[in-house]
Structure 1
Amino acid sequence: MSTRPSRQEACVQGEKEAAPGWRAAPPRREHSPPEPTPPASLLPLQASCVQYRLVVRDANTLQICQLYTCLDQIQHIEWSADSLFILCALYKRGLVQVWSLEQPEWHCKIDEGSAGLVASCWSPDGRHILNTTEFHLRITVWSLCTKSVSYIKYPKACQQGITFTRDGRYLALAERRDCKDYVSILVCSDWQLLRHFDTDTQDLAGIEWAPNGCVLAAWDSCLEYKILLYSLDGRLLSTFCAYEWSLGIKSVAWSPSSQFLAVGSYDGKVRILNHVTWKMITEFGHPATINNPKIVVYKEAEKSPPLVLGRLAFPPPRAAAGPLSSTESEWRQRSHWDGHQALQCRLARRSSGNTASQGRAQGQALCAAAKFPPSPVFHEVASVPVSLQTLKPAADRANPRIGIGALAFSPDNCFLATRSDSVPTAVWIWDIQKLRLLAVLEQLSAVRCFQWDPRQARLAICTGGGKVYLWSPAGCVSVQVPGEGDFQVLSVCWHPSGDSLALLSKDHFCLCFLETEQGVGTAFGQRGDHT
């Protein structure tokens, strides 16, 4: 890795010595974002892009706060950890443009030139940008403060080849040189190499730090079942291999406490490793038939349930799972707010904020203020035995739809949600404390995405339709997204506070505010700041 002054294209416009002043704020990471505590002068903001325009809105009212124009179509946007800067990656032009929220007239342009650009991201301190060139020849680290640049050679083009510790002190990078796999650990303060070691893998597929930053997990490609655990100084702690001569690891997830490592495999099982011996303590299968009467199976049904009072906002902790129906939902103006609805959405005809897909929608933000009865689709508790819909994979095609495609731990470390690609319509909820299956949610359509509330055990699920599904230990409920046209929810994204939820379609996004014990939560828990 070498260091030299930055090229002219990376010069900071309007600043001679450094970027604008920044305020101290706790880092907000992608892996497990904490509750934000922004300065009083900063509003909760939401960013989205439409072709070459970057739109920054007030997350409570959807009013436009800033509008920036880039040099070309935007493919990727990302906030800095302190939310004071936002980068726009223009991959086709090999450019990255950085905008300041405090000083809109300040901006920065980074040009990778003939090397090209395939990926761009922030460092945890929010003052460095990591650009990956075409063909993964190198990673360039640009500093907004000193206007210097550093090079990291030999990055490997794999599924998850770069990972930061949660405290932002260290970077682990997967490398490929001389037909062998390596891992480099760098110090993020000065980008100096701390450790460099080879991995006993045939084709390294991904690496990920434990939340406590003490252990690094590295796993092989699907052709060989192998996962290796390394300490911060590069010592091999353990190697785990469940079987041989078959497709291996498909997904990996750490528990928030770093006590467990869940490994999803192509054989349809999840294996849980413990942090003491790094041995398997249990494995979770995903059978097509549920026979255990202690397992609650929620089946989505196309009929109206009886109107029963219920709530999913703050369920009793560790409550027994049972049916839950939503009360009649009403979408009201601010002046008619009565504080009793469980969910409120706001529809904006803009491109989604977490991706840079082409936004073809036009017009300004539209606030939904319609009144409608409960969704005709709800969940009923099915009697065992229950046969789930299975998908037979095509034997003559690559990347067969089998195995555990997604898994995630709840923030309280009590539950694990999984999805088997051979049973695409079901989400499995596992009780980690008792190491058993707790509930199964069977949808009418294939599950596209699910994500845990970052503050409590509440799971949001979408299937590509016009509804969002919520599960907690108290039960399950589905809510129809209001608005004009056919709104297809393709992914969901929680606010770090857990009070609001973003629903994303191809061309639109919808903001949902959920009820809390104090009332209706906004992005920062201020009641009455939205309609």
Structure 2
Amino acid sequence: MVVEFSELVAASRECSKICRPIVSYDGKFVAMVSKVTALPANADSQQYKLVIRSSRSLTVKKQLLLPPGFSPKMVKWYQPATGIFSDEPFDDEIHRIFAANDEGEVRIWDLDGMLDIISNGINDLKSVVVIRQSNWGPNVPIKNVEWGRSPDEILVFSDYQVSLAIWSLVGRESIEIYHPKYYTAKGFSFQPSTRHLTVLTRPVSEDIISVYGAPLLELETLSTFGLSDFYDAKGFKWSPDGKWIAVYDTITNFQVGIYTPLGGLYRVFSMQEIGLGVHDIEWSPAGNLLAVASYDGLIRCLNTLTFTSTVILKHSTSIKTKEKIIFVEQPVNGKDGHSKYQRVQSYPVNPPKLRSSLTDAPPKTGFGVVEFNKDGTLLATRFDLIPTTLWIWSLRTMTPLAVLVHVRKIKSVEWHPQKPHLLLVICANSQTKDDETYDNYDLAGVGNENDCCFYIWNAEWRNPYALSVPRVGAAFTSVTDATWIRSNVELDDSANDPIPDEYSEYDLRAKLLVCDHGSYTVGYLDDEQEPEDDDTKVQRLIDGVQQQEWAEVTTTSYMEDTFAMVDQKRKVIKAV
């Protein structure tokens, strides 16, 4: 298995702390905050700009100059309602991006030049400026900014649960929804098909969910219902088909309520005998399962016909049987060394367990990761009590396909948006301050060999891989973040051959953006299935082969190191 890397694009560490590089929804562009170096002598503040590059060639496409003193707190691309997991091509290519600061100013640009409101004279782009609500007062900062249900709407959340302002980029006017309970996806979302805005509020002593119709500036309320049976609702999520709203309660009350869009209570799933409650919920992409992750280390999968538990996924802190395929990360010392996965042959296996006390609040026993793949056949989970371990479950056999045990805490996982069996894993590096301690495990002996590692698992491979980004002097020191880049290939209907354009990756290789503290690179992954006997294909297990049959044919004890790196002297692109 081979991975190739592009040139490094360098930036200052200060800019990477402000905002990491982000990829547009279709994978065409990468945006990064950069300093303006050529400042006039009388400049009294630092000036920044957004640099937009092609993800394929890394050439600069646009530079968006920010006003002097404008320090962006967040930068986000617009994403269409089709979602990142859709196989449908994007009919309308809309490339809009905003930058927001702490002072309540949000600036929006349209890279396609179709936003005809205010011209700022920068590269023939159009820009809109949104200022926070004047009635918030000077001491109420912006907490979060999100795109609305269309590229013509912006949602601006204040701190302290004061207000949610909905701005129209066409009419340049706004309305407000008061007392939003959360400023994240736990407290607001859009109905999947109609894109009706849904907000969880708490104006007084009871939580309320409101569904608003179109257009938002008229604030037409389709339904409003109180959650009288909930002590303190921690969040809600729409089902993928838009038929149900699932709400889960506070940590002390194990309860999930299933509501209709009009507010009718259809079912309540509760476990009163459990001491702690629900940590998070997640719908499968097809909507046939609702995963309920709780603080007791179990994930209960509810079927969405009766909303009763059909299977329970247990995350044990000591794995005692060979029914689970376990890979343990083995760091390799040396300048050019990188970690490897080793298949476990002896049991029991005791992954690093987080050392916690009774005074911890909240308890460190929730689930930091509950992620379905795009076709809903696989589920990746991380139980916070064993935060270095990733469980990958087959939802057809309801058994683990693999358990990956790492040296350090898993920060994030991400399924590929187009290849359902490909998973990216990012762990904390040794340069990150880790205040957590583990039973019978010491991080002090682990040096920098894990700094440039990211991890790839594929259901069609015999083994997962730990891949290392080549260091170029001091230009790339550690992997801080990584994300998949969506491929965008147009096909000729007559010849059925890929037609590459300026941006698309015509060879259809999976590619990803890998970042460190001051630069980023694009990696191209050759993820073709390795040659293997029919009896050892993991794909057979996904299609329904029993776990015990698979365990009997796993004889490989150590993975082959077929990782290939590009030339260590590859070019470093300086910040512009």
- Same fold flag (TM > 0.5): yes
Contact 2:25 2:77 in 1 (8 A): no
> For 1:89-126, what per-residue CA distance to the aligned partner results, in whole angstroms no more than 9, with x for missing partners?
11x21110111212344211111154242211111311
Are 1:447 and 2:426 matched, yes or no?
no
After superposition, the Cα gap between the structure-2 partners of 1:239 and 1:492, relative to the gap in structure 1 and judged at 3 Å, is farther
Matched, 1:44 2:70: no
Conserved 8 A contact 1:429-1:439? yes
Q: Give the Å deviation of 1:245.
A: 6.1
Conserved 8 A contact 1:158-1:206:
no
Which residue is 1:73 aligned to? 71
Give, in whole Å, the separation in 2 of the partners of 1:58 and 1:196. Answer: 44
Query: Is the counterpart of residue 254 in structure 1 residue 254 in structure 2?
Result: no
Q: 1:172 maps to what in 2?
A: 198
Determine if the alignment matches structure 1 residue 120 to structure 2 residue 120: no
* Aligned CA distance change for structure 1 residues 143 and 271 (closer, same or farther; 3 Å): same
* CA displacement at 1:303 relative to structure 2: 4.5
Pick from 415, 424, 428: which aligns with 2:387? Answer: 424
2:339 paired residue number: 377
Superposed, 1:133-212 pairs within 5 Å as 133-157=158-182, 160-167=186-193, 169-190=195-216, 191-199=219-227, 200-212=229-241
Structure 1 counterpart SS, 2:408: coil
Q: CA RMSD in A?
A: 2.5
Structure 1 residue 239 displacement after superposition: 1.1
1:508–1:402 CA distance, 2 compared to 1 (3 A): farther
Q: How far has the Cα of 1:391 moved from its partner?
A: 1.4
| Equivalent pair of 1:451/1:492 in contact (CA under 8 Å) | no
Q: Distance in 1 between matches of 2:269 and 2:477?
A: 44
Corresponding residue of 1:404: 367
Count matched residues: 412
Greater RCO structure (CA 8 Å; 6+ sep):
2
1:353 corresponding residue in structure 2: none
- What does the per-residue CA deviation read over 1:189-227, in whole Å, with 9 as the maximum and x for residues that have no partner? 444211100112111111111122221111112222211
Indicate whether 1:129 and 2:154 are aligned.
yes
Q: What residue identity is the alignment partner of 2:128?
A: C
Rate the CA distance shift 1:398–1:166 in 2: closer, same or farther, 3 A: same
1:246-273 Cα distance to aligned partner (Å, 9 max, x none): 2211122111111111111111111111
Letter in 2 for 1:515: D
In structure 1, stretches of 5+ residues that fail to align are 1-32, 37-42, 305-371, 519-530
Instruction: Quote the Cα distance in structure 2 between the aligned partners of 1:262 and 1:492.
Output: 26
Q: Secondary structure at the match of 1:387?
A: coil
* Structure 1 counterpart of 2:266: 237
The percentage of aligned residue pairs carrying the same residue is 25
Quick check: 1:228 aligned with 2:257? Answer: yes
Displacement of 1:145 after TM fit?
1.7
- Give the Å deviation of 1:188: 4.2
What is the one-letter code of the residue matched to 1:179?
S
The answer to whether residue 130 in structure 2 is matched with residue 110 in structure 1 is yes
Question: TM-score scaled by structure 2?
Answer: 0.67
User: Which whole-Å deviations, capped at 9, do the CAs of 1:361-399 have from their partners, x for residues lacking one?
Assistant: xxxxxxxxxxx97x5421111013322221121322322
- SS of 1:135 mapped into structure 2: helix
Are the equivalent residues in 2 in contact too, given 1:269–1:403 (CA < 8 A)? no
Question: Structure 1, residues 46-74: CA drift from partner, whole Å, max 9, x if none?
Answer: 11224632121111122221111223100
Structure 2 counterpart of 1:434 = 397
> AA paired with 1:513?
Y
64, 81, 96: which one pairs with 1:85?
A: 96
Bigger shift: residues 507-516 or 381-390: 507-516
Match of 1:491 in 2: 481
Paired residue type of 1:97: R
Of 404-413 and 499-508, deviating more is 499-508
SS at match of 1:139: strand
Residue of structure 2 equivalent to 1:324: none
DSSP 3-state at the match of 2:479 = coil
CA 1:376 to 1:517, structure 2 compared with 1: closer, same or farther past 3 Å?
A: closer
Q: Distance in 1 between matches of 2:268 and 2:453?
A: 42
Tell me the secondary structure at the aligned position of residue 477 of structure 2.
Answer: coil
CA distance in 2, matches of 1:237, 1:509: 48
Distance 1:252-1:504 versus aligned 2 partners, 3 A rule: farther
Cα separation, 2, equivalents of 1:74 and 1:477: 36
Q: 2:111 aligns with which of 93, 101, 104?
A: 101
**Amino acid aligned to 1:154:** H
Aligned equivalents of 2:282, 2:321: Cα separation in 1: 27
**CA-CA distance at 1:165 after TM superposition:** 2.5
Q: How big is each residue's C-alpha offset from its partner over 1:305-361, in whole Å with a ceiling of 9 and x where there is no partner?
A: xxxxxxxxxxxxxxxxxxxxxxxxxxxxxxxxxxxxxxxxxxxxxxxxxxxxxxxxx
Work out whether residues 448 and 490 of structure 1, in 8 Å CA contact, stay in contact via their aligned partners in 2.
no
AA of the residue aligned to 2:423: L
Q: Do 1:183 and 1:198's aligned partners in 2 also have CA atoms closer than 8 Å?
A: yes
C-alpha separation in 2, matches of 1:49 and 1:268: 40
Check 1:231–1:166 CA distance in 2 against 1; reply closer, same or farther (3 A cut): same
- Given that 1:156 and 1:174 are in contact with CA atoms closer than 8 Å, whether structure 2 keeps it comes out as yes
| Partner AA of 2:348 in structure 1 | P
Q: 1:118-139 CA deviation, whole Å, 9 max, x = no partner?
A: 2111113111111112322221
The equivalent of 1:471 in structure 2 is: 457
Could you tell me which residue of structure 1 aligns to residue 422 of structure 2? 458
Deviation at 1:158, TM superposition (A): 6.3
How far the C-alpha of 1:168 sits from its partner, in A, is 5.1
- In the alignment, the residues of structure 1 paired with residue 354 and residue 527 of structure 2 have an alpha-carbon distance, to the nearest angstrom, of 39
Query: What residue in structure 2 maps to residue 510 of structure 1?
Result: 521
Q: 1:458 offset after TM fit, Å?
A: 1.1
Match of 2:468 in 1: 480
Q: Structure 2: 5+ residue runs without aligned partners?
A: 1-22, 36-47, 80-92, 114-123, 429-450, 488-508, 530-572
The reply on whether 1:270 has 2:299 as its aligned counterpart is yes
**Contact 2:338–2:467 under 8 Å retained in 1:** no
Q: Aligned equivalents of 2:173 and 2:332: distance in 1? A: 62
Classify 1:427/1:193 alpha carbon distance in 2 versus 1 (closer, same or farther; 3 Å): same
Query: 1:403 and 1:105, CA in 2 relative to 1: closer, same or farther beyond 3 A?
Result: closer
Q: Distance in 2 between matches of 1:76 and 1:489?
A: 21
- 2:339 alignment partner AA: V
- Report the residue type matching 2:464 in the other structure: C
Q: Is the 8 A contact 2:297 2:383 kept in 1?
A: yes
Counterpart CA distance in 2 for 1:102 and 1:404 is: 40
